Amino acid sequence: MCGFHSLCNEDELRIIQRQLGLRSTPLDRCQGVNFDREECFGQLSRGLKDFLILISSARPILHEKLDRLDVDVRDLLTNVQEEMDSQAISVPYLPQETPQYQTHFQRKAGAFLIISDITDFMLMAQNAFRYPFGG
C-alpha cells in the first residue's frame, strides 16, 4: 500500500479500516495473566469465522491466491471447534459484516488490511499456544 498509493501512515490505514467496517480480532484472553481457556477458544473461533467472511470479500482482488489461505483457515477452525466440543466449550458468535467496497482502491486496501490482520492474528495465536501462561 505504501509503494503504490503512498498510504504508509498507520493512522490513515486505521481510518480506511473503520470506513470499511473491518474490526481487529483480539486474542488478549489467550495471553499472559489474562489467559482464560474458554474465552481464548472463543476468541480463536470467532476470529477464524470472521476471517472466512473477510477472505471471501477479498477474493475478487486476490483471486486464487486466497484459495490456500481459505483452506488453511477452515482446517484450523475445524481443529479449534473439535477441541472446543471435546471440552464442552460453547461461545456465541456475531458474524463480522462483509465489507462494502465502493472503489477498487478500497477493495485493494481492504485486502491488504485483511491479510495484515490475519498475519497478526496467527502470530498471536502461535505465541499464545507456545507460551499459554505468559511464559
Per-residue pLDDT tens, the chain, 135 aa: give them: 556 556 666 777 788 888 888 888 889 888 877 788 899 999 999 999 999 999 988 887 777 778 888 899 999 999 999 999 999 999 899 888 888 888 888 888 888 888 889 999 999 888 877 765 444
> What is the pTM assigned to this prediction?
0.84
**Rg of the chain, C-alpha, whole Å:** 16
**Integer angstrom CA distances of residue 41 from 4, 11, 44, 133:** 38, 30, 5, 14
Q: Which three cell numbers stand for residue 122?
A: 496467527
